[in-house]
Structure 1
Amino acid sequence: MREEIRDAHERRFVLLAVCCAAAAMPLTFTGPAVALPAISRSLGVDPIALNWVTNAFMLTFGSSLMAAGAMADSFGRKRVFLGGLAAFLLFSICLAFAGDIVWFDALRALQGIGAAAAFSGGMASLAQQFDEGERVRAFSLVGASFGVGLAFGPIASGLMVEVFGWPAIFVLVVALAGVSLAFGAVFLRETRDPDAAGLDWRGAARFTAALTCLTFGILQGPESGWSHPFVIAMLAAAVLFFLAFWQIEQRVARPMLDLTLFRYPRFVGVQLLAAAPAYGFVVLLILLPVRFIGIEGMSAVAGGRMMIAMSAPLLILPIVAGLLTRWFAPAAICGAGLLLSAAGLFWLSRFPVGSEPVTLLAPLLLIGLGISLPWGLMDGLAVSVVPKERAGMATGIFSTTRVAGEGVALAVVTAVLSALTASNLGAEAGKNTVSMAQRMVTGNVADAALLSPQTSNAALLQAYGDAFSTLLWLLTGVTVLTAVVVFLFVGRGGEAVSGDEGDADAMPFDTVPLGEIGSSRTNL
């Protein structure tokens, strides 16, 4: 009895450690988004470099998750968790003292690698520490912790920026990571997969190279032109690296990404579901603070306060989504949520730049309400696709789809917004149209105006506002299409999915009981 009490006590502190890490993760991209205008004034105004403030973190985070999951299974989940947290903590501290935008971007990339290791190691450890029923509740609390960080991160970062300056946005990140590191070191037990064959280094290197080339090519396209040899070379290299990754994963005994899983429509549907919030929600976490603060001239605090309307539903609705599975199929809930989010996106597109902030709250809230429903079911739907022993790989696959999708979506959406803004500026802005659009996208209206003195501020804001509305229409259409596809794929019956080819014992999605469908969206 005394040993059981001690074990329960240790598990609580392990859960606290992972929850603190989960709460720190959203602060690492909402904070810099709110502080981007201040960072631009302090470190430099190059638009490509400023785009990498967010993309560098999301790129390395997304491309490292599968490798980190495999390392956790092979070399020890506690070791990977603590090592990742230590790196994440160190680079977060260094970011506060960065004096150059290039160094800042490089540190953001290193911070993303540490975050990937901490996330994969922590989530894989939870899967081992808790039994079936307890595991669902544990994952729910981690998801709620992530929601707290996402909901209050923008306003907290805004207050820090206004009172202490942009370097202060990393104070809370460092504090949460420090608490997580201390509790994890003391209470977490080491576990590993006895059948793991080590890290697939060749596959990891090619996957990372492919994502890097793809993101860099997309970001460079609006400035250099899509027919520029460098842009074409980057996109072609991305295709070649992805093909090389696919070939390697087919040959290795224990692949980093088990490609046989993609034979199952339900597994594919869950991956599409993981990517869905990228272009209907996550990109707005980056673009809207830039619009509110850089374009419309709100204070950092006011801009952060506006974002609460969109992110606050994540505190409650994911849990409600789990309860709704008593009466509705998960596919129906997810599809309905995405349709609600699409309605909010279209509604938001009706309000031009300069609208009264209070009029934007309802569409922002609707977007948040809609995305919170599938957000609450994603991890529960994904939890049965591989055996428990390969929890690191399961976390890696699902989270890589999610985060890599977010990074690529952000690069694509930024490029589209820049191209639309340049098109709206027209020939009257002169030869600097593209450069002006790039600066507008990063919230630097003053520098954009300097490039074309004959263009009024009103014309600049009109061009950006029309481009933003058009972008929201495009995102609305993509979200509606995704809702239909996810409903059809996730709602299919009959097939069981497992981590090993030929294993038909895994639980089908339509037979997963309510308690097994968690409310634990645990990442970007």
Structure 2
Amino acid sequence: MDRATDHTPHTDRYYVLIAICLAALVLPLSFTGGAVATPAIGKAFDADPAALTWITNAFMLSFGSLLMAAGSLSDLYGRKRLFTLGLALFGFVSILLANVSNIVWLDALRAVQGVAAAAALASGSAALAQEFEGLARTRAFSLLGTTFGLGLAFGPMLSGLLIEQFGWRSIFVSSAILAAISLLAALARMRESRNPAAHELDLPGVLGFSSMLALSTTAIILGPQAGWRSPLILGLFGGAALSLLAFVMIELRARQPMLALGLLKYPRFVGVQMLPIGTCYCYIVLVVLLPFRLIGVEGIAPLRCGLILLALSAPMLVVPLLAAWLTRWVSAGMLSAAGFLTAAAGLCMLANTAIGDHQQLVLAMLVIGIGTGFPWGLMDGLAVSVIPKEQAGMAAGIFNTTRVAGEGVALAITIALLSALVGNGLGRVLPAGNYRELAQRLVMGDLSQVQGIDPLLLKTAYVEGFSALMVVLIGFTVLSAGAAFFLLGRDNEAGRANTPRNSLPASDSARG
């Protein structure tokens, strides 16, 4: 049982709730803000495409790989201590990001920002669970999840407004201000708590897992430019494979492993891990790719881009609650499968959307958002309900890590694939030549250095590549629907036991 240093007065609990919700608001704003600001950052620093890719991936990679480690550290050394340290670091790094002078430092600081985000989110969620009990706890976590949804839904619009009025650096200043307010509230009212039964951090496991993610993601990002068969890329993939092997061996032998591999013997638990991976390919990647398309390729203003993206993310505020209500009659697996198929239909519409056809674009995004909302609203509850109760904490940690780390890997894969597809398109419409870098710049929405080429030809090649990518994403999404149906769709009792995603601790990136 957790030990707290003092009893929190009733009114102080709500100050703690506000502090943690503010921290939860900062994280999706950081994710979506970085995506919307990427075209402007590319112009400001004349950055190469690979460096622009790291603006988002550096944050997601460090965030996802350290989330479970941060939870263990908060149990060992105190939730308030790690929460306040994480927020302080996040605010400090945000100020540095607002004053950075080159893309290398920006990418490096985004990675540090992801470390701070992991510390704040993991410890904040654990601390919130100590402040409330019963129905009050459900309501508190419902508000926390809703805050994540608000940040994800309105983050692109707010980021676009800030960029238009004050420039891209203002995104990081606003993040620092929100983090500072949250930090002050936590320092004043949050009590300290820790888990006396917690064991020391599985440091070898953390290093193995983080190395595997870092090496594989780096290989995927650099592959289009360096060549997939180059010694560098083959070496990175080889290092990632060795790191994965080492991680598995470490976890199998560890007395207190960071990741209990024995949970994978439960087929339904494996099925649950497919849900966040599926939402990565039908939803999360679009949160990043669509701003590149709308701002960089189509040339619309950042604020208008944010308003258009509301069609994609606004359904997340409503549909998850509907999904939880429907589990009274339909299993969560069947609902998730139906949602994925709906999202696949939206991706099909998006594949056939021409440049400038924003009416069909909005309709397609609305269908995708509605469809994704069903698995999105149920997967947190499923993650802890399909395995023995005594392993629920570990299961939640694995699920959250799968979700956040999967988002980073999915982004790297889709950007690399889109770059290759657009490069092939450029080769068909332009004279013979090497268009790797041009394709990457086009994908990242950075055309500031492109001169002497008909913009119509560039847009034609981009649309062909984007449509082909949507076909690949449709395939991933349909496979996710099949996994949900066959692994999770037969037991309606498990579906009835689920609670909405917004009622459980969330650790999204976008939510990212």
TM-score tier after normalising by the smaller chain length: over 0.9
Compared with structure 1, are the counterparts of its residues 479 and 365 closer, same or farther at alpha carbon in structure 2 (3 Å cutoff)?
A: same
Residue in 2 that maps onto 1:187: 189
TM superposition shift of 1:281: 0.6
Distance 1:422 1:60 in 2: 30
TM superposition shift of 1:386: 7.2
1:125-155 deviation per Cα after TM superposition (whole angstroms, max 9, x unaligned): 2233332433322222111101111111111
Q: 1:154 aligns with which of 143, 153, 156?
A: 156
Residue in 2 that maps onto 1:171: 173
1:284-336 deviation per Cα after TM superposition (whole angstroms, max 9, x unaligned): 11100010000001011111111111111112222222222222221122221
1:93-136 deviation per Cα after TM superposition (whole angstroms, max 9, x unaligned): 11100110000000000000000111111112223333243332
TM superposition shift of 1:513: 6.0
Residue in 2 that maps onto 1:462: 460
The unaligned stretches of length 5 or more in structure 2 are: 1-6
Compared with structure 1, are the counterparts of its residues 16 and 437 closer, same or farther at alpha carbon in structure 2 (3 Å cutoff)?
A: same
C-alpha contact 1:196 1:254 (8 A) present in aligned 2: no
C-alpha contact 1:385 1:394 (8 A) present in aligned 2: no
C-alpha contact 2:353 2:361 (8 A) present in aligned 1: yes
Residue 16 in structure 1 maps to residue 18 in structure 2: yes
Q: Secondary structure at the match of 1:152?
A: helix
Compared with structure 1, are the counterparts of its residues 56 and 357 closer, same or farther at alpha carbon in structure 2 (3 Å cutoff)?
A: same
Mapping for residues 24-423 of structure 1, pairs under 5 Å: 24-352=26-354, 354-384=355-385, 393-423=394-424
1:356-411 deviation per Cα after TM superposition (whole angstroms, max 9, x unaligned): 22231111111111111221112222244678888764443221100100000000
Residue in 2 that maps onto 1:505: none
C-alpha contact 1:338 1:480 (8 A) present in aligned 2: yes
Q: Secondary structure at the match of 1:376?
A: helix
Compared with structure 1, are the counterparts of its residues 385 and 517 closer, same or farther at alpha carbon in structure 2 (3 Å cutoff)?
A: farther
C-alpha contact 1:224 1:231 (8 A) present in aligned 2: yes
Compared with structure 1, are the counterparts of its residues 244 and 104 closer, same or farther at alpha carbon in structure 2 (3 Å cutoff)?
A: same
Q: After the TM superposition, which of the residue ranges 388-397 and 283-292 deviates more from structure 2?
A: 388-397
Residue in 2 that maps onto 1:504: none
Distance 2:189 2:53 in 1: 39
Amino acid at match of 1:50: L
Aligned Cα root-mean-square deviation (Å): 2.3
Distance 2:155 2:488 in 1: 32
Amino acid at match of 1:462: T
C-alpha contact 1:70 1:393 (8 A) present in aligned 2: no
TM superposition shift of 1:245: 0.5
TM superposition shift of 1:446: 4.1
Q: After the TM superposition, which of the residue ranges 161-170 and 135-144 deviates more from structure 2?
A: 135-144
C-alpha contact 2:381 2:499 (8 A) present in aligned 1: no
Distance 1:147 1:493 in 2: 28
Q: After the TM superposition, which of the residue ranges 393-402 and 230-239 deviates more from structure 2?
A: 393-402
Distance 2:310 2:135 in 1: 32
Q: Secondary structure at the match of 1:377?
A: helix
Amino acid at match of 1:404: A
Compared with structure 1, are the counterparts of its residues 27 and 128 closer, same or farther at alpha carbon in structure 2 (3 Å cutoff)?
A: same
1:171-197 deviation per Cα after TM superposition (whole angstroms, max 9, x unaligned): 332222122212222332222222221
Residue 484 in structure 1 maps to residue 474 in structure 2: no
Compared with structure 1, are the counterparts of its residues 155 and 149 closer, same or farther at alpha carbon in structure 2 (3 Å cutoff)?
A: same
Compared with structure 1, are the counterparts of its residues 470 and 443 closer, same or farther at alpha carbon in structure 2 (3 Å cutoff)?
A: same
Count of matched residue positions in the alignment of Structure 1 and Structure 2: 503
Amino acid at match of 1:298: I
1:262-282 deviation per Cα after TM superposition (whole angstroms, max 9, x unaligned): 111121111111222111111
Amino acid at match of 2:473: L
C-alpha contact 1:269 1:490 (8 A) present in aligned 2: yes
C-alpha contact 1:127 1:388 (8 A) present in aligned 2: no
C-alpha contact 1:318 1:519 (8 A) present in aligned 2: no
C-alpha contact 1:123 1:395 (8 A) present in aligned 2: no
Distance 1:125 1:394 in 2: 18
C-alpha contact 2:32 2:287 (8 A) present in aligned 1: yes
Amino acid at match of 1:68: A
C-alpha contact 2:68 2:401 (8 A) present in aligned 1: yes
TM superposition shift of 1:481: 0.9
Q: After the TM superposition, which of the residue ranges 208-217 and 268-277 deviates more from structure 2?
A: 268-277
Q: Normalized against structure 2, the TM-score is what? A: 0.93
Q: Normalized against structure 1, the TM-score is what? A: 0.91
Compared with structure 1, are the counterparts of its residues 522 and 211 closer, same or farther at alpha carbon in structure 2 (3 Å cutoff)?
A: closer
Amino acid at match of 1:239: A
Compared with structure 1, are the counterparts of its residues 284 and 76 closer, same or farther at alpha carbon in structure 2 (3 Å cutoff)?
A: same
TM superposition shift of 1:6: 6.5
Distance 1:279 1:516 in 2: 19
Distance 2:336 2:10 in 1: 34
Q: After the TM superposition, which of the residue ranges 299-308 and 485-494 deviates more from structure 2?
A: 485-494
Distance 1:329 1:386 in 2: 17
Q: After the TM superposition, which of the residue ranges 125-134 and 63-72 deviates more from structure 2?
A: 125-134
Distance 1:252 1:237 in 2: 22
TM superposition shift of 1:351: 0.7
1:386-443 deviation per Cα after TM superposition (whole angstroms, max 9, x unaligned): 7888876444322110010000000000000000011111164443311111111111
Q: Secondary structure at the match of 2:13?
A: helix
Distance 2:160 2:319 in 1: 25
The unaligned stretches of length 5 or more in structure 1 are: 495-507
Amino acid at match of 1:123: S
Residue in 2 that maps onto 1:499: none
Compared with structure 1, are the counterparts of its residues 516 and 463 closer, same or farther at alpha carbon in structure 2 (3 Å cutoff)?
A: closer
Distance 1:191 1:129 in 2: 10
Q: Secondary structure at the match of 1:432?
A: coil
Compared with structure 1, are the counterparts of its residues 521 and 333 closer, same or farther at alpha carbon in structure 2 (3 Å cutoff)?
A: farther
Distance 1:329 1:158 in 2: 39
Compared with structure 1, are the counterparts of its residues 464 and 417 closer, same or farther at alpha carbon in structure 2 (3 Å cutoff)?
A: same
